[in-house]
Amino acid sequence: MNATDGALFPRPAALIAPGAMHLPEHLDPGAQHDLLAACREWARPPAGLRTVRMPDGSRMSVTQVCLGHHWFPYGYARTVVDGGGEPVKPFPPWLRDLARAAVATAYGRPCTESYDIALINFYGAGARMGLHRDSDEKSPAPVVSLSLGDTCVFRFGNTESRGRPWTDIELRSGDAFVFGGPSRFAYHGVPRTRPGTAPPHLGLNGRLNITLRVSGLPERP
Ligand SMILES: O=C(O)CCC(=O)C(=O)O
Ligand SMILES: [Fe+2]
């Protein structure tokens, strides 16, 4: 059951690995609505929601839209280089503030990092994401992950390999997960979502995950 659905105990913030903090219910229902409304706009063409093709020809089961810099396997560009070639949508300053606030809450210190990329992944029923590292950025700043809609199992591993040890946690609508410091380049993934678990007030079928990152790349002209 979701805490917003009346769970008996609130879920506490938890340190999952050094530098990796789970912040349950970081976004209140109003903030979740606002972020979802923005995601619906960003998903529209041009440079909207797309299927990502991997170098081996397979397709990712999530669909994705990027802000600030366009991610493709494996790098960043200013245009949809592996699609229609359109310029990537801008990264709005309020997302930078959202990222800084999550880092400040996670680590208990102010954050002034220059967040400039969002990757927005949509998980329909059956979508998943294999274990990987977020290693295409040129900055060690923490990654901030925000979840909306269906609950998922989030697997947070180690920096050495895709193997154990790892910790499986549930990410629910409104949760944040911040991974920086010694965990910035840890393997992580989403083995499964739980379809139908989104809070009814949100009106989303499926799961959205928004990761906010610092590219470390030169600013856009
Ligand atoms: O969906 C998630 O919670 C994780 C997404 C992720 O790891 C990524 O976009 O790199
Ligand atoms: Fe990732």
Nearest ligand to the CA atom of 176: 1
In a domain, 125, yes or no: yes
Residue 164 lies in domain: 13-213
CA of 189 to the centre of ligand 1 (A): 6
Separation CA 21–CA 180 (nearest Å): 9
- Ligand 1 pocket, residue 71 CB under 6 Å: no
CATH number reported for the structural domain that contains residue 31 in this entry: 2.60.120.590
Tell me which residue has its CA closest to atom 4 in ligand 1. Answer: 189
- Ligand 1 pocket, residue 64 CB under 6 Å: no
In a domain, 6, yes or no: no
- Ligand 1 pocket, residue 32 CB under 6 Å: no
CA of 178 to the centre of ligand 2 (A): 11
Flag whether the ipTM exceeds 0.95: yes
In a domain, 24, yes or no: yes
Q: List per-block mean pLDDT (blocks of 10 residues) for the chain, which spans 221 residues.
A: 61 97 97 98 98 96 98 97 96 98 98 98 98 97 98 98 97 98 98 97 97 90 58
Domain count across the chain: 1
Q: What is the pTM of this model?
A: 0.96
